[in-house]
Structure 1
Amino acid sequence: MNLANKITILRIGMIPLFILVFQQYPSWIVEQFGFLNYINQHGLFWAVAIFVIASATDKLDGYIARKYNQITNLGKLLDPLADKLLVSAALIMMVQHNMIPSWIAVVIIGREVMVSGIRILAAAKGVALAADKHGKVKLVFQVVAITLVLLGNFPFSYITNFPVDLTIMILASALTAYSGYKYMKNNYRELQLEL
């Protein structure tokens, strides 16, 4: 297994850690395991750090794969899967903590499921579908929006009461829906399937 794929697998491995530190643990568990009190108090900070590092590795593994000619079928499968799992985990946890409305998670995760379905359909026909530019742009907006929401609108909260974080999250949702539409339209045509 090459270095690029190892980094991608590391990114997937960071997702359970992200969930564990993001979680709020009830007092009866904290009494049994004292270190969970630290997570209850500081877990959000660590969740942000893990999310940002995991998101950054997406660029790193892609760069290594291209520079050292380490592009593999496994990498083509795992890289977008890692992105989808990380973003989905963050959205679900944020809904659980009432940081975002649930419809945002439904739109973004729904788009990812639809695109995965199209890729499975393409694979069955022997066609490998690459991510398009709209998908890459929406991922950047998703990562920025999730980070801002996790940070509680920091640093904007120091200068305005306007919810910049939620505004960017709504914009990311709109871009996600649009990129899903474009992906479906372009690739259904390529696969010669009718809508």
Structure 2
Amino acid sequence: MTGNGAGGSAPDAKAAVSSKILTIPNLLSFFRLALIPFFLGFIIAGQGGWALIVLVVSSVTDFLDGYLARRLGQISRLGQLLDPAADRLYIFAALIGLAFQGVIPWWLMGAIIGRDVMLLVLGIVLANHGYGPLPVHHLGKVATFCLFFALPLLMLGEAVPVVAAVSLPLGWAFALWGAFLYWWAGFIYIRETLRVIRIPVDAAAE
């Protein structure tokens, strides 16, 4: 996922971040968010092929909003919030839909969503102590990549049985590895939060 204003060359990285709302990249991000209910509905209804089409359209839109934000100089604070939010919501929608269909167990869905709830709590703790969110750890990035790769593979295996023998095992491998790394990164965030707010880890564990 490219991000609304992420990446780019050195000159792009120095581009001003605006507070505008109605920009072309932001409109694309809103469109991407509007597709999420359709994405979830198709998965729950067992329409895996249509869900994959929506996911492809969303991915193309994600690339375009990031590209246009840099190209047109329309990087915005709102866009920087919308893009990761959309990524998370697509993951949640895929997890809920696949769990509803019995493709993945509910405990796996709960484990992944529970970790993000934990990060939300950590963010509140940091804010109460006057700190912003922690920098994204590379393990968290790898875990998110694994999940982005795993969920479409699982959906593909359900939608196209002829590739299920390959798609499903690969999807499960990436899903379990992603969930493990997700929580590994989560524990690192807990440790860093305790360090930042100056609460010794040993004392917090007592």
Report TM bin, short chain: 0.7 to 0.9
Following superposition of structure 1 onto structure 2, how do residues 22-61 of structure 1 map, counting pairs within 5 Å?
A: 22-24=43-45, 43-61=47-65
- The partner residue of 2:149 within 139, 144, 147 is 144
What are the ranges of 5 or more consecutive residues in structure 1 without an aligned counterpart?
A: 25-39
Counterpart in the other structure of 1:28: none
Following superposition of structure 1 onto structure 2, how do residues 101-112 of structure 1 map, counting pairs within 5 Å?
A: 101-112=105-116
Counterpart in the other structure of 2:178: 172
| Distance in 2 separating the partners of 1:44 and 1:162 | 14
Counterpart in the other structure of 2:8: none
Superposition RMSD in Å: 2.9
- In structure 2, relative to structure 1, the CA distance for the partners of 1:67 and 1:118 (3 Å cut) is farther
Tell me, yes or no, if the aligned pair for 2:157 and 2:168 is still in contact at 8 Å: no
- Do structure 1's residue 19 and structure 2's residue 40 form an aligned pair? yes
Deviates more, 1:114-123 or 1:90-99: 114-123
Q: CA deviation at 1:104?
A: 1.2
- The partner residue of 1:6 within 8, 22, 27 is 27
Counterpart in the other structure of 2:196: 190
Tell me, yes or no, if the aligned pair for 1:18 and 1:50 is still in contact at 8 Å: yes
Following superposition of structure 1 onto structure 2, how do residues 36-115 of structure 1 map, counting pairs within 5 Å?
A: 43-66=47-70, 68-115=72-119
What are the ranges of 5 or more consecutive residues in structure 2 without an aligned counterpart?
A: 1-20
TM-score after normalising by structure 2: 0.71
| Distance in 1 separating the partners of 2:167 and 2:149 | 19
Count of aligned pairs: 178
- In structure 2, relative to structure 1, the CA distance for the partners of 1:82 and 1:116 (3 Å cut) is farther
Counterpart in the other structure of 1:36: none
* CA displacement 1:42-97 (0-9 Å, x = unmatched): x2101012123324544443444455554433233322221211101110110010
- In structure 2, relative to structure 1, the CA distance for the partners of 1:5 and 1:49 (3 Å cut) is same
User: For residue 18 of structure 1, what is the amino acid of its counterpart?
Assistant: F
